[in-house]
């Protein structure tokens, strides 16, 4: 009887709490629905990778093929080319999109005036909220061979124009620069928060010991945010096979830069969405996801083993 009364009291308190914060829960509802519809429900369709799935037949009417699509793709020569491009691109993206936010956060941390610091942070956040389509349009307006600002400058200097998107060797650089510009401010938020948590007494002790600003940076600031850097780098390893922003890669891709711009995610997109080979595309996506999880676990183990503290992603 006492247990029944306790359960009844808890339910009543929960209902009261929900009613009290109903507007907060209502604001959360669209986000929850988004994750349920586009993140959790699709998990149930991962078994499509093991079927020759036909939409009109469903799973019951589709033939079970087991690991056929996995063997077909991961044993093909095309897989090695896609894997090489993806890893080459992703490693560069991780490097620049980790280094530049750290540098920016360190520079922001040196600004003493709060209003100026907030202004810099606000300005740096703005590009993150610009849609990918607009970013690509801006890229084209800068590097277009006919009307682009960069080629107009080259013409004024008496140099030949360059079709940057038509040359594979420029494709990664264009993505890196635009990616840093778009995400540097947003990615620096965690580092700025980590810097704000550093005990000021450590800086004061370093000043008393005669440490210069550069010495304080190298021996106090960076070691204090090293756990944060290690955790974010570990999580970034999971995105190595993702290949970056799919929308931007698709919009910047053309036949001339195809040898460098075709990666695992663009290939999967074309296979599944364009060519309607859903089972094959699902098998590729599932396989790369499993590999990514394994890479994160390995990176986490290595990071924990090399560090002198017990921080871990898991």
Closest-CA residue to 187 (of 296, 95, 91, 105): 105
Poorest-confidence range of 152-161, 188-197, 199-208? 199-208
DSSP 8-state secondary structure symbol assigned to residue 52: E
Half-sphere exposure at residue 183, Cβ-oriented, CA atoms within 13 angstroms: 18
Average pLDDT over residues 228-235: 86
Residue at token pair 């740096």 = 124
The 8-class DSSP code of residue 44 comes to: G
Q: What is the dihedral of CA 277, 280, 282, 283, to 10 degrees?
A: 180
* Burial status of residue 247 (CB atoms within 10 A of its CB: 0-12, 13-18, 19 or more): middle
Superfamily holding 77-306: MetI-like (1.10.3720.10)
- pLDDT score for 305: 75
Q: How far apart are CA 109 and CA 106, in angstroms?
A: 5
Interhelix angle for 2-20 vs 22-35, to 10°? 90
Query: Which class for 15: exposed (0-12), middle (13-18), buried (19 or more C-beta within 10 A)?
Result: exposed
List pLDDT tens digits, range 26-77: 999 999 999 999 989 988 888 999 999 888 888 888 889 889 999 999 988 8
Phi-psi region of 22 (alpha: psi -120 to 50; beta: other; left: phi over 0): alpha
pTM (whole model) above 0.95: no
CB proximity list for 179: less than 8 A, separation 6 or greater? 93, 96, 97, 244, 245, 248
Inter-residue long-range contacts of 114-119, CB under 8 Å, 24+ positions, other chains counted: none
């Amino acid at each position: 009887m006492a247990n029944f009364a306790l359960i009844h009291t808890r339910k009543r308190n929960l209902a009261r709490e929900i009613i009290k914060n109903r507007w907060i829960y209502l604001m959360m509802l669209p986000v929850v629905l988004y994750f349920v519809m586009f993140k959790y429900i699709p998990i149930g369709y991962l078994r499509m990778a093991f079927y020759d799935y036909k939409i009109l037949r469903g799973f019951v009417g589709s033939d079970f093929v087991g690991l056929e699509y996995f063997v077909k793709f991961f044993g093909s020569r095309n897989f090695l080319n896609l894997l090489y491009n993806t890893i080459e691109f992703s490693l560069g993206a991780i490097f620049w999109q980790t280094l530049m936010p750290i540098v920016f956060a360190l520079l922001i941390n040196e600004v003493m005036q709060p209003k100026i610091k907030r202004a810099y942070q606000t300005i740096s956040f703005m590009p993150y909220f610009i849609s990918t389509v607009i970013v690509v349009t801006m890229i084209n307006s800068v590097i277009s061979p006919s009307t682009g600002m960069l080629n107009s400058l080259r013409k004024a200097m008496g140099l030949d124009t360059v079709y940057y998107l038509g040359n594979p060797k420029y494709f990664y650089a264009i993505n890196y620069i635009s990616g840093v510009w778009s995400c540097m401010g947003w990615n620096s938020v965690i580092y700025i928060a980590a810097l704000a948590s550093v005990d000021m007494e450590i800086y004061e002790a370093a000043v008393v010991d005669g440490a210069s600003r550069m010495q304080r940076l190298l021996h106090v600031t960076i070691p204090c945010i090293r756990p944060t850097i290690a955790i974010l780098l570990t999580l970034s390893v999971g995105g190595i096979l993702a290949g970056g922003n799919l929308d931007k890669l698709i919009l910047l891709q053309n036949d001339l830069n195809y040898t460098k711009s075709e990666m695992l995610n663009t290939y999967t997109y074309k296979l599944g969405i364009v060519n309607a080979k859903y089972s094959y595309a699902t098998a590729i996506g599932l396989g790369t996801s499993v590999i990514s999880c394994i890479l994160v676990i390995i990176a986490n183990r290595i990071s924990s083993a090399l560090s002198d503290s017990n921080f871990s992603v898991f």
